[in-house]
């Protein structure tokens, strides 16, 4: 259980990830406009994982997911999630989920679940970075600058979302400079939530879509805030290694090893404050420069 204000940003995110069960394997999730042109990819990731988790025995916890974004999601309409119970073995369960909107699949997703086992362990160390408490919040954008932006972009930049972010090396996304393709961002939920691991996993899947593919833009001095840059996630993979809480500080350490053919690849490792590697991610995204009259999709999928 949790005592989060249901009308606040965190309460709204909990509601967004709490799907309506239509049948044993069929679920419906609402969409939320956070300032992106289309449905935010993290929303579909989190909702698909919520649907899959609802069909798996509680003793088995998600350890990996792999997804493809097929079509842009419509913010104004709900999404139906059709779960296929692909396999329940002695130790592992696999679920395939298709997200459907307006009668067409917009997203396909596979997740694997495992009951806890002991075995050999190792991990790469966390980068040496300042603690989140020692980093300032990003300064507010000048109201005069905000006034010149589109309503969608203004909503994205001026929103009070459910997550708090602290950038180790901040970048001005409205006037980006060229820099190497690396970044570290501390993040956590703005309010504490309950102990249910399935909620924390769905929340982390949602948050993993922030900042990741944007790392691939750094060497090129471009940003998805610019009107001539179109960006969209093409796929997303995630591995959950160890227990964590998304309402406590986590470090997202991201890098982009390559970009080509209007696509960029980004990788991320997520650590807790003790330096424990709790999850890893990869994502490939469209990075297309178009005539200035085009528009940024801000994570359209």
Whole-number pLDDT of residue 293: 54
Whole-number pLDDT of residue 158: 59
CATH architecture of 9-116+134-289: Beta Barrel (2.40)
Whole-number pLDDT of residue 2: 55
Q: Which residues are catalytic?
A: 209, 233, 283
Q: What is the 3-state secondary structure (H, E, C) of the chain?
A: CCCCCCCCHHHHHHHHHCCEEEECCEEEECCCCCCCCCCCHHHHHHHHHHHHHCCCCCCEEEEEEEEEECCCCCCCCCEEEEEEEEEECCCEEEEEEEEEECCEEEEEEEEEEEECCCCCCCCCCCCCCCCHHHCCCCCCCCHHHHHCCCHHHHHHHHCCCCEEEEECCCCCCCCCCCCCCEEEEEEEECCCCCCCHHHHHHHHHHHCCCCCHHHHHHHHCCCCCCCCEEEEEEEEEEEECCCCCCCCCEEEEEEEEEEECCEEEEEEEEEECCCCEEEEEEEEEEEEECCCCCCCCCCCC
Whole-number pLDDT of residue 300: 39
**Residue spans per domain, the chain:** 9-116+134-289
Whole-number pLDDT of residue 167: 96
Q: What is the mean pLDDT of each run of 10 residues along the chain (301 residues)?
A: 73 96 98 86 97 95 98 95 97 98 97 96 98 90 72 65 94 91 97 96 97 96 88 96 98 98 98 98 95 50 33
């Amino acid at each position: 259980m949790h005592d989060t204000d249901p009308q606040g940003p965190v309460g709204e995110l909990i509601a967004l990830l709490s799907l309506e069960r239509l049948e044993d394997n069929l679920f419906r999730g609402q969409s939320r406009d956070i300032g992106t042109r289309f449905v935010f990819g993290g929303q579909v990731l989190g909702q698909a994982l919520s649907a899959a988790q609802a069909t798996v025995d509680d003793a088995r916890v998600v350890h990996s997911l792999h997804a493809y974004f097929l079509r842009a999601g419509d913010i104004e309409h709900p999404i139906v999630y059709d779960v296929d119970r692909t396999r329940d073995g002695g130790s592992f369960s696999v679920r395939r989920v298709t997200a459907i909107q307006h009668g067409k699949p917009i997203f396909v997703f596979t997740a694997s679940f495992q009951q806890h086992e002991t075995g050999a362990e190792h991990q790469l160390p966390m980068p040496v970075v300042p603690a989140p408490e020692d980093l300032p919040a990003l300064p507010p954008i000048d109201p005069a600058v905000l006034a010149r932006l589109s309503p969608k972009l203004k909503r994205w930049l001026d929103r009070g979302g459910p997550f708090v972010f602290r950038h180790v090396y901040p970048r001005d996304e409205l006037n980006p400079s060229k820099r190497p393709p690396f970044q570290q961002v501390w993040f956590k939920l703005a309010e504490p939530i309950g102990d249910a691991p399935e909620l924390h996993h769905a929340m982390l899947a949602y948050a993993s879509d922030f900042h990741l593919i944007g790392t691939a833009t750094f060497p090129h001095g471009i940003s998805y805030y610019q009107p001539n840059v179109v960006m969209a996630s093409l796929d997303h993979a995630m591995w959950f290694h160890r227990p964590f809480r998304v309402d406590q500080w986590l470090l997202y350490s991201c890098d982009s090893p390559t970009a080509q053919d209007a696509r960029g690849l980004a990788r991320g490792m997520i650590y807790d404050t003790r330096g424990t590697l709790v999850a890893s991610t990869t994502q490939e995204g469209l990075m297309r420069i178009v005539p200035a009259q085009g528009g940024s999709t801000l994570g359209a999928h």
